[in-house]
């Protein structure tokens, strides 16, 4: 298999969430995390989920990843029910979860071990491609402890992209980074999405981050989690995080989020 074919032979997936509900046991009672959530994500679309802590955003991400199962409803990836984790859906978490005993390239190669049809040379070429894509081509042989926090997250992103998944699920991957590093990540993430056109779902508490990156921003209610409102982001790409237009839309979304939160508290 040529490296070109490996990088081009995967199309983005369409996701459908049909009336998904999920609850958890806690302190002698059931806590409803999600209640009949409906969602469609188009092929190659970048969707951001925003809402208060504990509203079920990460729970929904885990269901789409196949890391957990819903109580009712179902998740479909290109029409196929999601019942378990798969290489077609990769997750990037807030913590990088890299292996400290492996170098940068070794960490990216780890995600390729179970991918069939690739020779050792193929895997190294794939790893090199994605490390270059995230700006780490000069750190391929570095040890993990030698990297900054932002660089570690770049390695984690390269590792998630290397198996060429159809869907990338991101659970607050930029939350622990300093402001300058985050803003550079937003620039780079837009370039990466434009280059690979993966279907991406991002969970975040940062409304401006969601507007900077997403095609749509979905607002979640708290307890139980439901999608309360949708905002389409039509600002041209690449987007500048500190632009007035982006700040204005983020302000509208933030006010809507506060309004929904107040209504739920009063109910």
Residue-wise pLDDT for 16-55, tens only, equals: 999 999 998 877 778 888 999 999 999 999 999 999 888 8
Domain spanning 12-99+168-266, CATH class: alpha beta
Q: How far apart are CA 128 and CA 115, in angstroms?
A: 16
When computed from its CA atoms, the radius of gyration of the chain, rounded to whole angstroms, is 19
User: Which tokens hold the place of 43?
Assistant: 């092929």
CA-to-CA distance for 23 and 68, rounded, in angstroms?
11
pTM of the model: 0.91
CA-to-CA separations, 119 to 52, 53, 79, 198, in angstroms, rounded:
45, 44, 31, 24
Closest CA to 141 of 121, 127, 159, 153: 127
Pick from 1, 76, 68: nearest CA to 41: 76
Instruction: Determine if residue 228 is left, alpha or beta; phi over 0 gives left, psi from -120 to 50 gives alpha, anything else beta.
Output: alpha
- Tens-level pLDDT at each residue, the chain (267 residues): 455 665 565 667 799 999 999 998 877 778 888 999 999 999 999 999 999 888 889 999 999 999 999 999 999 999 999 999 988 899 998 777 899 999 999 999 987 876 777 888 889 999 999 999 999 999 999 999 999 988 999 999 999 998 889 999 999 998 888 899 899 999 999 999 998 889 999 999 999 999 999 999 999 988 788 999 999 999 999 999 999 999 999 999 999 999 988 888 777
Distances (CA, A) of 164 to 6, 105, 171, 199, 207: 8, 16, 18, 11, 28
User: Which strand (E) or helix (H) includes residue 251?
Assistant: helix 244-266
CA–CA separation, 237 and 239 (whole Å)? 5
Distance, CA of 82 to CA of 250 (rounded, Å): 33
Are 191 and 217 in contact by the 8 Å Cβ rule? The answer is no
CB-CB contact of 85 with 67 (8 Å): yes
């Amino acid at each position: 298999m040529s490296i070109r074919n490996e990088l081009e032979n995967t199309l983005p997936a369409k996701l459908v969430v049909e009336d998904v509900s999920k609850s958890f046991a806690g302190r002698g009672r059931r806590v409803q995390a999600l209640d009949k959530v409906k969602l469609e994500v188009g092929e190659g679309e970048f969707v951001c989920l925003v809402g208060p802590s504990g509203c079920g955003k990460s729970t929904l991400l885990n269901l789409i990843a196949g890391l957990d199962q819903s109580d009712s409803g179902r998740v479909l990836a290109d029409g196929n029910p999601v019942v378990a984790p798969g290489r077609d859906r990769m997750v990037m978490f807030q913590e990088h979860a890299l292996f400290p005993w492996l170098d940068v390239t070794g960490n990216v190669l780890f995600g390729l071990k179970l991918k069939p049809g690739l020779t050792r040379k193929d895997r190294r070429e794939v790893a090199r491609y994605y490390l270059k894509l995230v700006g780490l081509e000069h750190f391929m042989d570095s040890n993990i402890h030698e990297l900054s926090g932002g660089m570690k997250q770049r390695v984690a992103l390269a590792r998630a992209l290397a198996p060429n998944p159809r869907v990338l699920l991101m659970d607050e991957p930029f939350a622990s980074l300093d402001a300058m590093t985050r803003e550079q990540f937003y620039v780079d993430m837009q370039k990466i999405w434009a280059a690979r056109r993966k279907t991406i779902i991002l969970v975040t508490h940062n409304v401006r981050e969601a507007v900077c990156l997403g095609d749509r921003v979905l607002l979640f209610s708290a307890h139980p989690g439901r999608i309360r409102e949708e905002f389409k982001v039509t600002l041209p790409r690449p987007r500048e995080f500190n632009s007035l237009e982006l700040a204005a839309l983020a302000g509208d979304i933030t006010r809507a989020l506060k309004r929904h939160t107040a209504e739920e508290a009063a109910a």
